[in-house]
Structures are given as structure tokens and as C-alpha cells.
Amino acid sequence: MGAKAIGWAWAAAALVGCGGGRAGAGSGATSGASSTGAGASGSNAASGSSATGSLLPSGSTAVGLASRLRGKKNFLIGMGNDLAADHNKDGAYTLGVTLDLHYAYLVGLPSKGGWPDWNPGGAFVNVLSDAASAHGVTPMYTLYMMAANGDGNISVVTDDAFMGLYFQAAKLLFQRIAMINGPAVVHIEPDFWGYVIQKSKDGTAPVHIGAHAPDCAGVTEDFRGLGECYVRLRNKYAPNAAIGFHFSEWGADVPTSISFFQAVHAPETDFITTDMLDRDAGCFEAHTDPNCMRGGMFYWDETNQTHPNFHDHLANVQQMTRGLSLPMLWWQVPFGVPSTTPGGTAGHYRDNRVHYMFAHIDEFIAAGGAGAVFGTGAANQTDITTDSGQFKTAVTQYLAAAASLP
């Protein structure tokens, strides 16, 4: 399958965050579309439009999620934001081992150059799932449409023109996932919930829903109803999809975040996601790349003696997973290599999250983790072609004796 990078510059601009600071279309991982493959095909396409199997949560646990997604009880490892011209050659498929998950962004709105336009009828979803199926991997979709009119612009939720197109695409996504003969993962609007909680801690600020989403008639016209609407769409159209919202540590303190996600129906989903950092720590330390101009301490102490450190983060995660009774998936973990020298250069910035996670997966499991997916969050970051084989070596060794979930 070939690909063309439709609207790369637009997508990169749309995804540059200012709170969470996310830039999903960087480092060659374009938001492009396959130029062939108009629909699901081969073993990945179910006949008709009904989903195969059900992933509806029933007291979701880490081991339960892994079992339903992969038929195994191990801490899951995935990768994404790595699209190639031929999706069978996406970066996750070049490591010589079979990962559990492969993720890609779905950005933009229909009729506006967004993902539903990249292939006829939104078939980009199935182009990706066909490639995943061919490689024995479960497809994961990061829905990132709320940023289409600007990162952090949550006023779009009361813009009827915007919300009409938004719900059209959200329904289409689940309808397309229903064509997949097997499970899929939908990661719903990272960053967005962090901005929302800063404006509406109880989720009662207005959102225009019912007029644009008939399947969600009767939900409250606010962020609580929006969360419920995602659950309804999944339940009706794609019970083979595991869905989850995104927890941003910068959004609010943990108790406030737990209360907020309870209000927006997160306990009716299958997992919660978070990110430890959206790009290499060294990129922020170098402070020369326009994608990395925030201040702060980003290279965490692996000895967990000084702050910030990994135990600080894991304590927050454990509170979230216990408070919501949901397992955690870490998302877009950066690829940088540890170094005693701060900073680095484009494509070679330092970071230690890959190093720490694979050396301490037991700590991530103890915090309620079900798995982690790795990927670049902006242009010029370290990736699997510039990390001297760190990730390939680590994941190969891990999958040879994967850690069991309790």
C-alpha cells in the first residue's frame, strides 16, 4: 500500500501542544493516507458491519485488558507515530519481533482534509488495521480531532458546525473498527481532557451533543455527556474496541482528576492512558528546537532520590488506577538514550524513559499498568533509527521473557 502525506504541515501545526505540548505528526510520522486500499480486506475484514467479539468492560483489570486484546497475560508493548509510505513497513514492523500494539493519530475533520478524507469513506482506519493484522499486531487509534481548530481551544465543543463534523467522524471511526475481525484500541483525545479539567473540574460546562449525535440522545449537554457519548458509540457500533480517556498530570492534581474522570464516565471504559513526557527530555534541555521551549526539569532521576523522579510519577499513576478501577496504558514514551551530558542534538536528544521502564517493568505493573506504547511526539526527536538500537535491543530481550500481569 502506498501513502501520501496529505496536509502534513497542517497536521504538524495542529498537533503542537502548549499545555501537554504534543506534536504528533513530526519526525517523518506524517498524518498521511494510503493511496490504495479503500476498505478493510483479507483476514482483517469481518463480513457485514457487526463487530467480532466484545470488549465491553466488566471491572476492567490489567490482565483482563491484555487477555482481551492479545490473548495473553503479559505487560503489553507497542509503538507508533511511525507511518511509512508502505504501511507494512511502518517502524513497528521493522524490529524483527512482534509487538502487541501499533498506534497512529487520527486528526482533523471530514471535508476539512482530516483523516476521514485520506481514503474514501474513512478507510484509512482499515488500511492501518490490515497492516497490523498482517503482522500479528493489534491496531490502536489515537483520536486527536478536538485540536483541529487549535490545541487547547475547547470552545469548539459549543460550535455547532465543528461538533456536527466531529460526531460524524467519531461515529465513522467506530463503524470502521466494526469491520475489523478482532480487537482494536481507541485512545480518546489526549491533551483535551487536561485542558477541560482546568476549565470545568466537575465536567458540567456546556457541550453541544444531542443535535449532532442521535445515538447519544438524552445525555447531559456537558462534558459528562460527552464522555458517556463515546461509551455509547463504542457499545453500539464497535464492541470489539477497547476505549480509554487520557490523564495529563499537568491538568490537575490527582484527587481532582479522579473525581473528574468519574464524572465523565471513565469507569465505563476499559483503561486510562497517560504520558511521562511528550518528547525527549534533552530536547527541552537544549532549548534550541521550537518544539521544545518549555522550561522545567524533564530528565528524571533513575535513583529516585531527587525530584522529579520515576517514583513520583508512579505514585500518581497508582492513585489514578485505584481511584478509577482501570488499568493504565503509557503512551508516546520517547526513545532518547541516557547520557550524563544534558541536551543533545536534533535526532540524538537524551532521555532515560526507555532505559528505566524496561529495567523496572515490575514497578509499572505494581502501579496498575497494562502496557506501554512508544513513539516520537515531535519532529527532530530520537527514534529507532537514531537510538543506536536501544529500543530494538530492549524490546527483543523483553518479549523473549515478557513480564506477567497479576
For the cut 90, the answer to whether the pLDDT of residue 23 exceeds it is: no
Domains of the chain as residue ranges with CATH = 3-400 (3.20.20.80)
Residue 59: band (very low, low, confident or very high) from pLDDT cuts 50, 70, 90:
low
Buried b (16+ CB within 10 A) or exposed e, 362-387: ebbbebbbbbbbbbbbbbbbbbbebb
Checking if the pLDDT of 71 tops 80, the result is: yes
Q: How confident is the model at residue 60 (pLDDT cuts 50, 70, 90)?
A: confident
User: What pLDDT digit, counting tens, does each position of 173-196 carry?
Assistant: 999 999 999 999 999 999 999 999
- Residue 53: band (very low, low, confident or very high) from pLDDT cuts 50, 70, 90: low
| Amino acid 393: pLDDT | 98
Average pLDDT taken over every residue of the chain: 89
Tell me the per-residue pLDDT of 278-318, one tens digit each, with 9 for 90 and over.
999 999 999 999 999 999 999 999 999 999 999 999 999 99
Give the predicted TM-score (pTM) of the model: 0.91
**Three-class SS of residue 172?**
helix
Q: What is the spatial distance between Cα 276 and Cα 257, in angstroms, rounded to a whole number?
A: 16
